[in-house]
Structure 1
Amino acid sequence: MTERLHAVTLVVDMPITKIDALDVIAFAADGGVDDARTSHPRVWLAPHAWAEVEIPKFADPPPFAIDVYSDASGEIAWAQARRLHTALERLGWTVEPPRAGAQ
């Protein structure tokens, strides 16, 4: 049985490393970075919802994507993406509004 993930993407147009972006997301979400030393670090935003960061490869310029996932529902993914969007803008980031991501 495969797990269905619901995804919402936030796009940020600024130069930053993946770990620094995750640290800021963790600060905004009042949490921490899980699996920081792996290929798939994440920040838990709520039960059944987490954020992952996709940085362009091969020194491509920004933007980068913050993918907010939920294994429970699209509504949870959307709610947590909107919450994270607001929190990051309060910290001074310019973030595009949430949009549906890959599933």
Structure 2
Amino acid sequence: MDAVATLVVQVAITKIDALAVIALAADSPVLSPGSARPRVALDGGAWAEVDVPKFGEPPPLAIDVRSPLGLEHARLSALTLAAALEREAGWVVHPDFPVASGR
């Protein structure tokens, strides 16, 4: 079973647009764009999926970073993606998992 580390972003954006921003920040294409589970491949075998609020619900946007290599890898991949999203898109990204002080 894949490990999951979730990032939370307070933006109102569609799933398609969020995946495009993630793909740009990660410099990786959107995989399976027309499917029920589109995702963006990340380094080391991890990938990012987007969970948008349901109709009428306010943000946040949840980005699930999944890894077959375990929770530590999922979290490291998520933090790397968070830094890229902050740098490239100007998003304020909050990890939904404990992060050692220093970040």
Q: Give the TM-score, by structure 1 length.
A: 0.88
2:97 to 85, 96, 99: 99
2:29 matches 1:35:
no
- In 1, the alpha carbon distance for the partners of 2:19 and 2:56 equals 18
Structure 1 or 2: more helix by fraction? 2
Q: Give the TM-score, by structure 2 length.
A: 0.88
CA contact (8 A) 1:85 1:98 kept: no
> What SS does the corresponding residue of 2:63 show, helix, strand or coil?
strand
- In 2, the alpha carbon distance for the partners of 1:19 and 1:61 equals 17
Per-residue CA distance 1:28-61 (angstroms, 9 max, x = gap): 1110000111110000002320000000112311
Structure 2: gaps of 5 or more residues? 99-103
* Two-structure CA RMSD over aligned residues (Å): 1.2
Q: Report % sequence identity.
A: 52
Query: Bigger CA drift: 89-98 or 33-42?
Result: 89-98
Alignment of 1:59-98 (within 5 A): 59-91=56-88, 92-98=90-96
Runs of 4+ deviating beyond 4 Å: none
Match of residue 18 from structure 1: 15
Structure 1: gaps of 5 or more residues? none
CA contact (8 A) 1:51 1:68 kept: yes
1:8 to 5, 8, 15: 5
2:58 matches 1:57:
no
